[in-house]
Amino acid sequence: MKKVGIMGGTFNPIHNGHLMLAKQAFEQYTLDEVLFMPCGVPYMKAGQNVEPGTIRAKMTALAIQDMPGFALSTIEIEKKGNTYTYETLKQLTKDNPDTEYYFIVGADSLFHMTKWVHPEHIFDSCCILAAVRDDKTDADMEKQIQILQKEYGADIRLLQINCMNISSSDIRQKIAAGESIEEEVPEQVRQYIERKGLYR
């Protein structure tokens, strides 16, 4: 079976923290590939200022262009209406029966996944790789994993990562304030944001 990671997100914009998380998953679980999958219409971020999917996909493509094993998937951007993880996984597993999917999430997402649409289908379709972050202890994570295993039969494994305290919202605020984001995003992404005048 081919082992493929899925790095989903709004990527508004993509940043070095996303890349670090994907890299750790790729290496720790010897994945064949990691698909970076910008969401289309993020229903959980309704009312927020989110750049069009094509813009976010372009930034993602620029961020991963020189990184072997990383690829862009526009499956959610091409879909009309709200995008739901369970639908995406259902389509992927149907189209690629020879592939095992590993859904890569941050620690916070692990505690919110029960609020996603049809979490039972998500846990049935893939293995969850959850990053341990400083704001959650190993004990907190293990307790949540046990809850999800008992309720959904979820296959959840932990990712040990070097914490990068970066968020897309902080980056957008920095850009609006005219501050440098050189440390937070790949240079080609920074140049694209500047050229397009994004988040100003």
Instruction: Report the predicted TM-score, pTM, of the whole model to 2 decimal places.
Output: 0.93
DSSP codes joined into one string, 86-106: HHHHHHHHHH-TTEEEEEEE-
CATH number, domain at 95? Answer: 3.40.50.620
Whether 63 is in a domain gets the answer: yes
Whether 45 is in a domain gets the answer: yes
Task: Kindly report, residue by residue over 54-86, the tens digit of the pLDDT.
Answer: 999 999 999 999 999 999 999 999 988 888 999
Task: Kindly report, residue by residue over 124-156, the tens digit of the pLDDT.
Answer: 999 999 998 767 788 889 999 999 999 999 999
Whether 86 is in a domain gets the answer: yes
Boundaries of domain holding 66: 2-167
The packing angle between helices 53-64 and 187-196, to 10°, is: 150
Residue 122 structure tokens: 């998500």
d(CA 183, CA 146): 37
Whole-number mean pLDDT of the chain?
92
**pLDDT surpassing 70 at residue 105:** yes
Residue 199 structure tokens: 């988040």
Q: How would you classify residue 108: left for phi > 0, otherwise alpha for psi between -120 and 50, otherwise beta?
A: alpha
**pLDDT surpassing 80 at residue 17:** yes
Count the alpha carbons within 13 Å of 158 in the hemisphere toward its beta carbon: 15
Whether 182 is in a domain gets the answer: no
The packing angle between helices 16-28 and 53-64, to 10°, is: 60
Whether 46 is in a domain gets the answer: yes
What is the number of structural domains in the chain?
A: 1
Whether 194 is in a domain gets the answer: no
Residue 158 structure tokens: 């932990």
Whether 75 is in a domain gets the answer: yes
Task: Kindly report, residue by residue over 37-50, the tens digit of the pLDDT.
Answer: 999 876 655 546 78
